[in-house]
Chains A and B, each alone.
Chain A
Amino acid sequence: DVKVTQSSRYLVKRTGEKVFLECVQDMDHENMFWYRQDPGLGLRLIYFSYDVKMKEKGDIPEGYSVSREKKERFSLILESASTNQTSMYLCASSSNPPMNTEAFFGQGTRLTVV
């Protein structure tokens, strides 16, 4: 059974803390993504990576950074957490065409910044 696993289901952090969200996939996918989901705003792309050590900004990269040192692992870093980063964070992975390009998602991390 294919899997994308996020390290935490729920997290509570304090304003100003450095926060790491980890994601691991076991499908040997080239691409990995970090999205945040807020009511009424859908999934907004923060960053994605198409290869080890390669990354591209999504639509809302401000306040975030990412790291991909190994193909199976993609980390999202909040350098200094703020209350407006309270959200559901979803990690996903996918293959490149001509393989199936569907995204497989993790279970999500609900982050609360207090």
Chain B
Amino acid sequence: SQKIEQNSEALNIQEGKTATLTCNYTNYSPAYLQWYRQDPGRGPVFLLLIRENEKEKRKERLKVTFDTTLKQSLFHITASQPADSATYLCALGGGSSASKIIFGSGTRLSIRP
């Protein structure tokens, strides 16, 4: 069955450092991969999308890479700030069922001052 794994349930880093989150998947050939941020008590909010033919995407302090051979995406937040503390979810879409979007379990990121 299709599976998405986000390797770390929780990640705790010092303010100013780069946070790197990992998303691996199996039994899936997505057309795109997305990253979302979720704050407590709220629904996820979209951050970035990267397509299967793209290697890297950037948006301000965020960078996403996508390796379809390794079936892995890395999500980086540079110059991290306490306000970046949240749960980050990766999601896959556009596979054999084009409309379907499935999510990983998330990584809870804490940035300490």
> Does A48 lie within 8 Å of B105, measured CB to CB?
no
Q: Using CB atoms, name the residue of chain A closest to B9.
A: A40
> How many Å from the CB of B57 to the closest CB on chain A?
13
> Does A42 lie within 8 Å of B104, measured CB to CB?
yes
Chain A contributes a number of interface residues (CB within 8 A of B) equal to 30
Q: How far is the CA of A103 from the CA of B43 in the complex (A)?
A: 10
Partner of B43, one of A30, A58, A59, A108: A108
| Stretch touching chain A among B59-67, B70-78, B87-95 | B87-95
Partner of A102, one of B9, B49, B105: B49
Is B79 among interface residues, defined by CB-CB distance under 8 A?
Answer: no
* A50: B residues at CB distance < 8 A: 98-99
> How many Å from the CB of A14 to the closest CB on chain B?
25
Given A40-B105, A42-B106, A102-B49, A92-B89 contact (CB < 8 Å): no
Is A11 among interface residues, defined by CB-CB distance under 8 A?
Answer: no
> Does A102 lie within 8 Å of B100, measured CB to CB?
no
> How many Å from the CB of B28 to the closest CB on chain A?
12
Besides A4-B43, A43-B44, A101-B32, 5 other CB < 8 A contacts?
Answer: A58-B102, A59-B102, A101-B101, A105-B45, A108-B42
Chain A contacts to B: CB under 8 angstroms: 4, 30-31, 33, 35, 40-45, 48, 50, 56, 58-59, 90, 92, 94, 96-97, 100-108
29 contacts between A and B (CB under 8 A): A4-B43, A40-B9, A41-B105, A42-B6, A42-B106, A43-B44, A43-B103, A44-B103, A45-B100, A45-B102, A48-B101, A50-B99, A56-B97, A56-B100, A58-B100, A58-B102, A59-B1, A59-B102, A96-B98, A97-B31, A97-B98, A100-B49, A101-B94, A102-B49, A103-B46, A106-B43, A107-B42, A108-B41, A108-B42
